[in-house]
């Protein structure tokens, strides 16, 4: 089936320009022509998008579709069936905010990705790592200090699995690869939601990190790492990690190392603002809220510095629980830190490059997936139009299928 989007202004994400009066022709799930001459085919479905800016569907490169609560320890004892039902509520919300692809950073598996891909539930394409790998007492270990037993069952709805030592880590990577992982995640630094570590603690030896990167490379995958501090980021990048998550405590030397290695930074400002404002009400233990400190302010300074130094940055949010609804707030938080055109690239073509799909998503171009949104306003001039998707995103298409249509035909 042919679909023709007429009178559209197309966002050229590479050039950072808005091209007026374009015609976009879609055939099934692909874009087949952009700026094409008028089609006379009588069987074509036509949408008049006059006054709207058409851009690629958005890509969130750090999310957790399984995390329906901020109490991550509670999630681990939840029914897998109930957790899945909640996850599909989360994926539907993401898609209706214009995110047609997401990279899960721990928890989602082939079952969630397959259900979405088959159209059984609504949601963005889910690029997943399976369980994040965490050391005993590390950021993904949500046991309290008095809890000794570790349930060996893999089939519980949590975001991580415990692995210590090179041999355990190699086996764990191979197991996630067996389950279809698109990338591998490690917890190489302390975190807010984990009860027994410190934000500043390094986790995993350099030998262990290198072993994970080696296994991932053998499988044609890459490693993403939960990391905040300059020291932990440098240890990760030196040993083969390609994607640094958060990075709030990075310094200039560290960011230049990322740039020289061709690594990516995925800041997640939205989660720190959200946790400060409603984390405890959503289940974050009160005693952990103090670990937030000034991470928000530090993270904003790093985003500004990373942009100035030319580090590749993708769009990420890391939201959990009831805070998933704030997914589009990252645009607002970065709006005064980087130019609008660069933030548009971060959430489209740079994100696509990070997930290694730059030849099929992230652009409005011939041969690309028909993942498109039509926006009221010009995001290249005012990125804040994307911060209010309910009001400003009038059309959402995923693989040529209309998800939302508030245009006038």
pLDDT in tens, 364-391: 999 999 999 999 999 999 999 999 999 9
**Are 374 and 401 part of one and the same domain?**
yes
Residue 342: inside a domain, yes or no? no
* Count of domains forming the chain: 2
**Are 378 and 318 part of one and the same domain?**
no
Residue 334: inside a domain, yes or no? no
Confidence of residue 149 (pLDDT cuts 50, 70, 90): low
Beta bridge pairs of residue 84: none
**Are 212 and 74 part of one and the same domain?**
yes
**Are 80 and 192 part of one and the same domain?**
yes
> Where is the domain boundary, 310, 327, 344?
327
Residue 383: give its domain's CATH number.
2.30.40.10
Confidence of residue 289 (pLDDT cuts 50, 70, 90): confident
Residue 286: inside a domain, yes or no? yes
**Are 287 and 237 part of one and the same domain?**
yes
User: Which residue from 21, 16, 54 is spatially nearest to 377, judged by alpha carbons?
Assistant: 54
Indicate whether 159 pLDDT > 90.
no
**Are 228 and 213 part of one and the same domain?**
yes
pLDDT in tens, 309-334: 999 999 999 999 999 999 999 999 99
Residue 335: inside a domain, yes or no? no
> Where is the domain boundary, 306, 327, 348?
327
Looking at per-residue confidence, does 101 or 197 come out higher? 101
CA–CA gap between residue 79 and residue 52 (Å, rounded): 44
CA–CA gap between residue 53 and residue 319 (Å, rounded): 27
> Where is the domain boundary, 274, 306, 327?
327
**Are 224 and 145 part of one and the same domain?**
yes
The answer, as to whether pTM is greater than 0.85, is yes
Q: What is the pLDDT of residue 42?
A: 64
Cα-Cα-Cα-Cα dihedral sign, residues 270, 275, 278, 283: positive
Q: How far is CA 78 from the centre of its chain?
A: 24
User: What is the arithmetic mean of pLDDT over 106-116?
Assistant: 94
Q: What is the pLDDT of residue 152?
A: 47
Give the range among 116-130, 225-239, 277-291 with minimum mean pLDDT. Answer: 277-291
Q: Distance of CA 406 to CAs 20, 177, 236, 308, Å?
A: 20, 41, 45, 38
**Are 117 and 64 part of one and the same domain?**
yes
CA–CA gap between residue 102 and residue 197 (Å, rounded): 28
Indicate whether 74 pLDDT > 60.
yes
Q: Mind giving me the DSSP string for 319-371?
A: --GGGGGGTTHHHHHHTTTS-HHHHHHHTTHHHHHHTT-TTTSSS-STTSB--
Residue 249: inside a domain, yes or no? yes
What does the angle CA 303 – CA 197 – CA 283 come to, to the nearest 5 degrees?
80
Residue 152: give its domain's CATH number.
3.20.20.140
Confidence of residue 147 (pLDDT cuts 50, 70, 90): low
Residue with tokens 């946790």: 275
**Are 84 and 52 part of one and the same domain?**
no
**Are 41 and 97 part of one and the same domain?**
no
Q: Looking at residue 218, what DSSP letter applies?
A: H
Give the range among 35-49, 100-114, 318-332 with minimum mean pLDDT. Answer: 35-49
User: What is the arithmetic mean of pLDDT over 238-265?
Assistant: 98
Which residue segment(s) compose the domain that 372 sits in?
2-57+361-405
Q: What is the pLDDT of residue 155?
A: 56
**Are 201 and 292 part of one and the same domain?**
yes
**Are 296 and 163 part of one and the same domain?**
yes
Residues 144, 195: contact at Cβ < 8 Å?
yes
Q: What angle, 0 to 180 degrees and rounded to 10, lies between the N-to-C axes of helices 166-178 and 206-218?
A: 30
Residue 356: inside a domain, yes or no? no
Q: What is the pLDDT of residue 40?
A: 64
Tokens in use for 409? 């035909």
Residue 17: inside a domain, yes or no? yes
Residue 37: inside a domain, yes or no? yes
User: What is the arithmetic mean of pLDDT over 48-70?
Assistant: 95
């Amino acid at each position: 089936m042919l679909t023709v989007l007429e009178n559209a202004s197309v966002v050229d994400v590479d050039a950072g320009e808005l091209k007026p009066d374009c015609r976009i022709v879609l055939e099934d799930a692909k874009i087949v022509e952009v700026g094409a001459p008028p089609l006379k085919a009588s069987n074509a479905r036509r949408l008049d998008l006059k006054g709207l800016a058409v851009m690629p569907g958005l890509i969130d490169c750090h999310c957790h579709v399984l995390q329906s609560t901020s109490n991550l320890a509670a999630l681990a004892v939840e029914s897998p069936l109930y957790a899945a039902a909640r996850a599909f509520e989360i994926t539907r919300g993401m898609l209706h905010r214009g995110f047609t692809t997401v990279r899960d950073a721990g928890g989602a598996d082939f079952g969630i990705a397959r259900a979405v891909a088959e159209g059984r539930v609504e949601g963005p394409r889910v690029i997943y790592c399976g369980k994040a790998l965490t050391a005993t007492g590390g950021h993904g270990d949500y046991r309290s200090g008095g809890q000794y037993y570790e349930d060996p069952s893999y089939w519980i709805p949590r975001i991580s699995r415990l692995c210590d030592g090179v041999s355990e880590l190699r086996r764990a990577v191979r197991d996630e690869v067996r389950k279809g992982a698109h990338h591998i995640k490690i917890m190489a630094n302390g975190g807010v939601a984990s009860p027994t570590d410190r934000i500043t603690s390094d986790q995993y030896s350099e030998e262990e990190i290198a072993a994970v990167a080696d296994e991932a490379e053998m499988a044609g995958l890459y490693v993403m790492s939960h990391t905040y501090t300059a020291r932990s980021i440098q240890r990760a990048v030196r040993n083969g990690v390609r994607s640094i998550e958060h990075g709030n405590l990075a310094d200039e030397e560290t960011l230049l190392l990322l740039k020289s290695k061709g690594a990516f930074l995925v800041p997640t400002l939205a989660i720190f603002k959200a946790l400060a404002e409603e984390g405890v009400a959503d289940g974050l233990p009160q005693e952990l809220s103090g670990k937030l400190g000034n991470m928000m302010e530090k993270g904003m300074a790093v985003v500004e510095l990373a942009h100035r130094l030319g580090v590749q940055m993708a769009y990420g949010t890391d939201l959990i629980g009831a805070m998933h609804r704030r997914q589009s707030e990252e645009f607002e938080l970065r709006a005064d830190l980087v130019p609008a055109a660069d933030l548009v690239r971060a959430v489209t073509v740079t994100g696509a490059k990070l997930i290694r799909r730059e030849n099929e998503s992230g652009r409005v171009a011939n041969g690309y997936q028909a993942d498109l949104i039509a926006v009221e306003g010009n995001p290249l001039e005012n990125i804040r139009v994307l911060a209010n998707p309910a009001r400003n995103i009038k059309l959402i298409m995923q693989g040529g299928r209309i998800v939302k249509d508030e245009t006038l035909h």
